[in-house]
Amino acid sequence: MSHNSKKLLYSVIGFLVVAGVVFGLYTYAGQEAFIRTTLSGLTLGSLFFLVAAGLTLIFGLMDVLNFAHGSMFMIGAYTGWQFYTNPTFIFGVLPLVLAFATTVMLIPVIKPRLVRLDLSEAWQKRLPILTYIAALLVAVLALVKFDILGLAKTAMVAVTTTSSNPLAELSPQEPLLRFLLRLLLLMLSGAFIAVGLSKPGNRTEVSAPEPLKKRLILPVVLFVLTIIFTLVRESASEGVLLMNGNLRFALAIIAATLFGFLLGALIEITMIRPLYVRSFFIVLMTLGMSFVMRELVQVLWDPLAYQMVRPPLFAQPGRATTIAEWLMNGSSTISIAGVTFPTYRLFVILLGVVMFVFVTLLMNRSRLGMIIRAGVQDPQMVEALGINVKRVFTLVFALGVALASLGGIGAAPFLPVQPMMGDQYQMQGFITVVIGGMGSYVGAFVGAMILGMARAFGDYFALKLQLSPTIAEASTVIIMIIVLILRPQGLFGKKD
C-alpha cells in the first residue's frame, strides 16, 4: 500500500472514530447538555490555543523551552484588567519601560563600532559584566522612592469604590521634572545593557551591515512614544476612564497585547539571546523568571483574586435570540439551539478562531512569515542574504509572548485574575503543542480544541457520575499519551 493510500485510510478511520464519539456523546448526554458542553469545550480550546500558538512559535520553531509562558499569560490578564479598571498605573509606568527599551534597542547602532575595539580577551569578558552591574545600579537609583505600589493600588480602589464619578478614582502622577530624571537614568541603564550585549572587542559578532537609518527607526519610534506618554500621563488616564466601556475594553486588549510584545522583545534581547548556546540555562532562567513574575504581581496587587467587570456589550441583563439582537442590546446570554450560553464566551471562541487565521496567514502567506521560517531553519543562509537573524528571533519570541498576553486579557472577564492563573494554561499549552506537532499551527489549533473538548466533557461526566474532578484533569494527559503512542511526532508533525 502506497504512502498516500495509507494516509487516506488513516484519515477515514480517524473521521469515523471522531464521528462515532460525537454521536455517542450526543446520544448519552442529550441535545441541551451536549451543545452547552461543546460550547464550553470550544471556549477552553480557544484559550488553550492562544497559549499554544505562542509556544508553537517559541518552542516549536526556536527550540526555546519557555517556562515563563504561563506567567506572561498572567501578566496580560493583569495589564488588561488594570487598563480597563483604572489605567493610572499603566500610563505611570509605561514611559519608564519605553525609556529603558529605547536605549536597549540601540544595539544594532552601536554594535558595529564596539566590536571593532581593540580589547584583550580578559576585558572582552570583564567589560559586559561591569556594564550589567552599572545598569542594575542605575536602574535601582532611577526607581528610588517611586510610588509604584500606590499606582498599582488604583485598580483595587476602583473595584471597591461606590463613587459614580470615574475621575474620582484617579490618583495624581509624579511631578514632571522628577519623572524626567527617572527617564534619563533608565535610558542610561538601557545604554549600559546595550553596550554589554554588543560584546565590545569580539570581532566574531560582526553581523550583516544595514543602513544607519534603518537601524535607528525602532529607537527613534520608542523615544517619541516615551515623550508622548510622559506628557499625557494624567490626561490619557482621564480620557480612557471617560470612554465607552466597549471601546475601553478594545483598547485594553490592544494595550495588553502590545505590552506583551514589548516585554517579549526585551526578555529575548537581554536574557534569552546570550544563552542560545546553553539551552539548559534557558530552561533554568525562564523557570526562575516565572517565580519572579508571580512574586512581583503579589507585591503590586496582593495575592488576591480579582474579577474584571465585563464590558457593556456582554453585561446587560436578558437573553438574546440572535447575534444581531445581542449586538444591539448587549445581552449577557444568547440562545443557541434552545441552550442559554454567555455571550462573552462566544467572543473568546471567535478570538481564538481569528488568531488562528492570523497566525496561519502570517506564517504561510506573508513575506515576514517566510523570513521567520527561513531564519529558523537556515540562519546562516538568511544572514548571508543581508537579513538580521537575531532580529528575526526577537520578533518570533515577542509574537509568542504577545499571543500569551492576548489570551490573558481574553480570559480575564470570566476567570479570576490572580497570580497562579497562568500555570494551568501553560501546562495545557505544552500538551497542545506536543499533540498537534512541533511547529504546526494547524496542529496547535486542532490539539487545543481536542483538549478543550476533553476537559469540558470530562468535567461533565465527573459531575454527572459523581467522580473525582481529577479524572477530568487527567483526561488531557491521557489523550497526549495515546497520541504519542500512535504518532510520536504529533497529529500534524513531521518526522525528522
The model's pLDDT over 200-234, given as tens digits with 9 standing for 90+, comes to: 877 665 555 667 777 888 899 999 999 999 998 88
Per-residue pLDDT, averaged over 416-441, amounts to: 85
Cβ–Cβ under 8 Å, residues 159 and 306: yes
Q: Which three cell numbers stand for residue 444?
A: 496547535
Query: In this predicted model, which residue has the larger pLDDT, 4 or 418?
Result: 418
CA distances from 41 to 25, 87, 443 (A): 13, 33, 17
pTM score above 0.85: yes
> Does 465 fall in a domain?
yes
Contact residues for 463 (Cβ-Cβ < 8 A; gap 6+): none
**Does residue 11 have a pLDDT over 70?**
no
Domain count across the chain: 1
**Does residue 166 have a pLDDT over 60?**
no
Q: Residue 371's pLDDT is what? A: 78
Confidence label for 165 from pLDDT (cuts 50, 70 and 90): low
Question: Which residue type occupies 297?
Answer: V
**Does residue 325 have a pLDDT over 90?**
no
Q: Residue 131's pLDDT is what? A: 93
3-state helix, strand, coil in the chain (%, to 5): 75, 5, 20
For residue 417, the SS3 value is strand
> Alpha-carbon distance 87 to 244, whole Å?
14
> Does 24 fall in a domain?
no
Q: Which three cell numbers stand for residue 230?
A: 510622559
Q: Residue 101's pLDDT is what? A: 93
Task: Please choose, from the candidates 436, 430, 433, 424, the residue with its C-alpha nearest in 3D space to the C-alpha of residue 472.
Answer: 424
For residue 252, the SS3 value is helix
**Does residue 26 have a pLDDT over 60?**
yes
Contact residues for 208 (Cβ-Cβ < 8 A; gap 6+): 383, 384, 386, 387, 388
Task: Please choose, from the candidates 252, 253, 251, 260, the residue with its C-alpha nearest in 3D space to the C-alpha of residue 73.
Answer: 260
Q: Residue 96's pLDDT is what? A: 94
Strand partners, 333: 319, 342
Q: Cell numbers 558595529 correspond to what residue?
A: 112
**Does residue 346 have a pLDDT over 80?**
yes
Name the least confident of 20-29, 161-170, 220-229, 278-287.
161-170
CA distances from 442 to 167, 303, 479 (A): 46, 37, 18
Give the dihedral of Cα atoms 75, 81, 85, 87; nearest 10 deg: 30
> Does 322 fall in a domain?
no
> Alpha-carbon distance 406 to 11, whole Å?
33
Burial class (CB in 10 A: 0-12, 13-18, 19+), 359: buried
Q: Residue 193's pLDDT is what? A: 93
Instruction: Look up the domain containing 96 and give its range.
Output: 29-313+338-486
**Does residue 133 have a pLDDT over 90?**
yes
Name the least confident of 238-242, 376-380, 449-453.
376-380
Question: Percent of the chain scored above 90 by pLDDT?
Answer: 24
Q: Residue 144's pLDDT is what? A: 92
Distance of CA 372 to the CA centre of its chain: 18
Name the least confident of 55-59, 230-234, 396-400.
55-59
> Alpha-carbon distance 475 to 82, whole Å?
34
Per-residue pLDDT, averaged over 136-157, amounts to: 86
Q: Residue 1's pLDDT is what? A: 56
If you count DSSP H runs as helices and E runs as strands, how many of each does the chain have, helices first? Answer: 21, 3
Per-residue pLDDT, averaged over 356-376, amounts to: 81
The model's pLDDT over 73-120, given as tens digits with 9 standing for 90+, comes to: 999 999 999 999 888 889 989 999 999 999 999 988 888 888 888 888
Confidence label for 199 from pLDDT (cuts 50, 70 and 90): confident
Confidence label for 148 from pLDDT (cuts 50, 70 and 90): confident
> Alpha-carbon distance 209 to 471, whole Å?
57
**CB neighbours of residue 281 within 10 Å:** 13
Exposure string for 98-121, b = 16+ CB within 10 A, e = fewer: bbbbbbbbbbbbbbbebbeeebee
Q: Which three cell numbers stand for residue 371?
A: 523570513
Q: Residue 162's pLDDT is what? A: 47
> Alpha-carbon distance 198 to 109, whole Å?
10
CA-only gyration radius of the chain, Å: 24
How many degrees, rounded to 5, is the angle at CA 120 between CA 119 and CA 126?
Answer: 90
Name the least confident of 198-207, 247-256, 458-467.
198-207
> Does 110 fall in a domain?
yes
> Does 493 fall in a domain?
no
Name the least confident of 267-281, 372-386, 475-489.
372-386
Task: Please choose, from the candidates 472, 375, 363, the residue with its C-alpha nearest in 3D space to the C-alpha of residue 428.
Answer: 472
Backbone angles phi, psi at 307, to 5 degrees: -115, 120
> Alpha-carbon distance 115 to 110, whole Å?
9
Confidence label for 402 from pLDDT (cuts 50, 70 and 90): very high
> Does 15 fall in a domain?
no
Q: Residue 221's pLDDT is what? A: 93
> Does 430 fall in a domain?
yes
Per-residue pLDDT, averaged over 387-398, amounts to: 83
Q: Cell numbers 441541551 correspond to what residue?
A: 32
Per-residue pLDDT, averaged over 302-312, amounts to: 86
Query: In this predicted model, which residue has the larger pLDDT, 251 or 62?
Result: 251
Confidence label for 171 from pLDDT (cuts 50, 70 and 90): low
Q: Residue 77's pLDDT is what? A: 93
Query: In this predicted model, which residue has the larger pLDDT, 388 or 446?
Result: 446
Q: Residue 222's pLDDT is what? A: 93
> Does 321 fall in a domain?
no
